[in-house]
Homo-oligomer: A and B are copies of this chain.
Amino acid sequence: MSASSLTSQISNLTPQNNNYVIIVAGGSGTRMGAPIPKQFLLLKGRPILMHTIEAFYHSKTNPQIITVLPDEYHAYWEELCVEHEFNIPHLLVKGGQTRFHSVKNGLDTIDDENALVAVQDAVRPLTKTGIIDLSFTHAATHGNAVTAVKSRDTVRQLREGASTHLSRDEIYLVQTPQTFVAAQLKTAYKQPYSDKFTDDASVAEAAGFAINLIEGSHQNIKITFPEDIALAEVLLGL
């Protein structure tokens, strides 16, 4: 991991391997109606982002952790880490204008083209370590591994006012982690930004890489609305 004025290292103890996770927290949290971005909202008494970091820290893969946060929240996050006695080592990187630019900032801190790099939503705190480890091992073999679940609902596609039924068996709702060989992700992120890039798989696909899906979990939810916190607390208790 390269040093940079854009980054600050929280603790010096990093794992000695070639695996990384970029945890992206770009959200302003406005949809939650909360005064602070949702990655800092409390889940069982601790900020959501800490749960997300812990999931990767406790996986067998034990990747080096790169957390991308808007610059204006770095000091606040460091205070939260002190307050909650949160000591898991991670590199703190400045966020960009969009998720794309934030991931790119995180990726720029990784020099090794042969590394494996997972990208994870900061507000997806319930990812199981089994999925994390599968994501890395599958990406090592196939170039990438994108976590997804089959839709539980019937799906329709609306085009020019007309809607058509899509086969539910073919439709996957995409989650994170999305894990790539670093060279592949770096090539993909050299493309100019497009507002069609809603996740890393869409960026890699646009660069010509075939995307491999792995099975996620319907419990691996993204915290988006206020009720999601209550649901996450229920799921943590199961």
Interface presence of A159 (CB below 8 A): yes
Q: Compute how far the CA of A158 lies from the CA of B149 in the bound complex, rounded to whole angstroms.
A: 11
Given contacts A154-B202, A156-B172, A158-B170, whether A219 and B227 have CB atoms under 8 Å apart is yes
Given contacts A196-B167, A230-B231, whether A173 and B202 have CB atoms under 8 Å apart is no
Given contacts A227-B235, A231-B227, whether A201 and B156 have CB atoms under 8 Å apart is yes
| A202 to B: closest C-beta gap in Å | 5
Interface presence of A205 (CB below 8 A): yes
Q: Mark A160-203, 1 if CB is under 8 A from B, else 0.
A: 00111111101111110000000000000000000010110110
The answer to whether B202 and A165 have CB atoms under 8 Å apart is yes
Q: What is the size, in residues, of chain A's interface with B at 8 Å between Cβ atoms?
A: 46
The answer to whether B159 and A175 have CB atoms under 8 Å apart is no
Q: Which of B152, B171, B238 contacts A227 (CB 8 A)?
A: B238
Residues of chain B with a CB closer than 8 A to A155's CB: 151, 155, 171-174
Given contacts A159-B170, A171-B157, A201-B165, whether A152 and B234 have CB atoms under 8 Å apart is no
The answer to whether A205 and B153 have CB atoms under 8 Å apart is no
Interface presence of A36 (CB below 8 A): no
Q: Compute how far the CA of A235 lies from the CA of B229 in the bound complex, rounded to whole angstroms.
A: 12
Interface residues of A (CB under 8 A from B): 146, 148, 151-159, 162-168, 170-175, 196, 198-199, 201-202, 205, 210-213, 218-219, 222, 224-227, 230-231, 234-235, 238
Other 16 A-B pairs with CB < 8 A, given A157-B172, A165-B205, A230-B231 = A146-B163, A148-B156, A152-B222, A153-B174, A155-B174, A156-B201, A157-B171, A158-B213, A163-B172, A163-B211, A163-B213, A165-B196, A166-B171, A168-B198, A231-B231, A231-B234
Which 10 pairs between the two chains have the least Cβ-Cβ distance? A153-B173, A154-B174, A230-B234, A154-B199, A154-B198, A165-B202, A231-B231, A156-B172, A163-B211, A157-B170
